[in-house]
Amino acid sequence: MDFESIPWMLVLPLIIIQFILMVVGIIDLIRVRSTNGPKWLWAIIIILGNLIGPIIYFIVGRKNE
């Protein structure tokens, strides 16, 4: 694979946003008392769901108290 042909100016912001969303999602998951579903499942979705996993957690997974 030729890494020089990758447009890093377009890819790098997506990687940074993905990392920030993942970290914030995991921190929120640890702090919240209850979720819509088991916490272990939401942790897997956040970590393996790439960019969309944390977004799905914040929309569907959090319980409104």
* Residue 65: per-residue pLDDT: 64
* Residue 6: per-residue pLDDT: 85
Positive or negative, the Cα torsion across 42, 48, 49, 55? Answer: positive
* Residue 8: per-residue pLDDT: 86
* Residue 27: per-residue pLDDT: 96
DSSP string, 28-47: HHHH-S-BSS-HHHHHHHHH
* Residue 3: per-residue pLDDT: 79
The residue ranges of the chain whose pLDDT is under 70 are 65
pLDDT in tens, 32-42: 988 999 999 99
What is the helix (H) or strand (E) element at residue 13, kind and residue range?
helix 8-31
